[in-house]
Chains A and B, each alone.
Chain A
Amino acid sequence: SAVISQKPSRDICQRGTSLTIQCQVDSQVTMMFWYRQQPGQSLTLIATANQGSEATYESGFVIDKFPISRPNLTFSTLTVSNMSPEDSSIYLCSALRGGSNTEAFFGQGTRLTVV
């Protein structure tokens, strides 16, 4: 399996500001994804980060709020824009190397608290 480095690991931010989370994989991967995990909840898919093109967002998530970049096959960023306390969550980057029947691996997550 590959190793994903995600940073920052945690941050406390003021409402109205933005935070960019970085995800670096140690080898080329075909797919990268961003998830949100609200306190005490499961993981919810935010979007698929597409290399060289706009991300594909899930229902309830929009590009203006969660802009995503993926300039190459090993790196992606997620920005949480104009933050409010409701954005306090763990944000996780995930990657998939192959097609079907391959495990997805995850970064350690970014614990975001908005005050």
Chain B
Amino acid sequence: SQQGEEDPQALSIQEGENATMNCSYKTSINNLQWYRQNSGRGLVHLILIRSNEREKHSGRLRVTLDTSKKSSSLLITASRAADTASYFCATDLANQAGTALIFGKGTTLSVSS
């Protein structure tokens, strides 16, 4: 079953612009993770944010987490054509170590040069 919703479902921007994707989830979590998928291949892990963290950075990526609203956002700054991919958020279940991730529906990002 899906954990929640992501919006937008699709996003088209120009190179150099910022891209923001949002994710909502339903249950209490230990952490939330963001993944990238290129053309239906395997998933690449981008960043993990723990439930007691509010913001995390990794290179051009900035992730925020609001556990009171059960939502997260992924910001990609200064986007490049190579950022074109599908982006998924995924959560585990609080108080259950080692559970499978539950994925959101994903955002398809298209960056044109």
Q: Is the CB of A100 within 8 A of B102?
A: no
Q: What residues of chain A lie closer than 8 Å to B31, measured between beta carbons? A: 100-101
In the bound assembly, the distance between CA atoms of A35 and B31 in angstroms comes to 20
- The secondary-structure label for the interface of chain B is loop
* Pair A101/B30 contact, Cβ less than 8 Å: yes
Residues on the B chain within 8 Å of A1, using CB: 45
CA separation between A98 and B40, bound complex, in Å? 27
How far apart are the CA atoms of A21 and B30 in the complex, in Å?
Answer: 31
Range of interface residues on B (Cβ < 8 Å): 20 to 34
Interface residues of B in 1-36 (CB under 8 A from A): 1-2, 30-31, 33, 35
Report the separation of the CA atoms of residues A111 and B45 in the bound assembly, to the nearest whole angstrom. 20
Q: Could you tell me which residues of chain A, from 1 to 58, have a CB within 8 Å of some CB in chain B?
A: 1, 4, 6, 30-31, 33, 35, 37, 41-45, 48, 58
Q: In the complex, which residues of chain B have a beta carbon less than 8 angstroms from the beta carbon of A103?
A: 33, 45, 48
CA distance A43 to B42 in the complex (A): 11
A111 to chain B, nearest CB (A): 7
- Contacts beyond the supplied A42-B106, A45-B102, A101-B50: 10 A-B pairs with Cβ under 8 Å: A1-B45, A41-B105, A42-B103, A43-B88, A44-B1, A96-B98, A100-B30, A100-B31, A103-B45, A106-B42
